[in-house]
Amino acid sequence: MPKTSDCHRCLMYSHDPHLVCAVHPSGVEGNICIDFRPNTNTQAEELWQPEGATYYNGELIL
């Protein structure tokens, strides 16, 4: 699933290991998503995760 570097900051990001987001479930074909909407409720410390990892039900999955 191709994700951009901004996916984790997007309002539509699913935080699901099987889907990227509500608009592009399989990801986008490039480095820029025209549907990106910044999630203003996300705090900076919530955004960190190792490369290739994701959060699922609030738990970090490596």
Summarize pLDDT for 14-40 with one digit per residue, the tens: 888 788 888 988 888 888 899 999 888
What value does the mean pLDDT of the chain take? Answer: 80
Instruction: Using DSSP bridges, classify how beta strands 54-56 and 13-16 pair: parallel, antiparallel or unpaired.
Output: unpaired
How much of the chain exceeds pLDDT 70, in percent?
A: 87
Q: Would you place residue 58 in the very low, low, confident or very high pLDDT band (cuts 50, 70, 90)?
A: confident
Long-range contacts of 8-13 (CB under 8 A, 24+ apart): 8/47, 8/49, 9/38, 9/39, 9/42, 9/47, 10/36, 10/37, 10/38, 10/39, 11/37, 11/38, 11/39, 12/37, 13/39
- Give the mean pLDDT of 32-49: 76
* 61: pLDDT strictly greater than 60: yes
- What's the rounded mean pLDDT across residues 30-54? 78
Closest C-alpha among 59, 60, 62, 56 to residue 18: 56
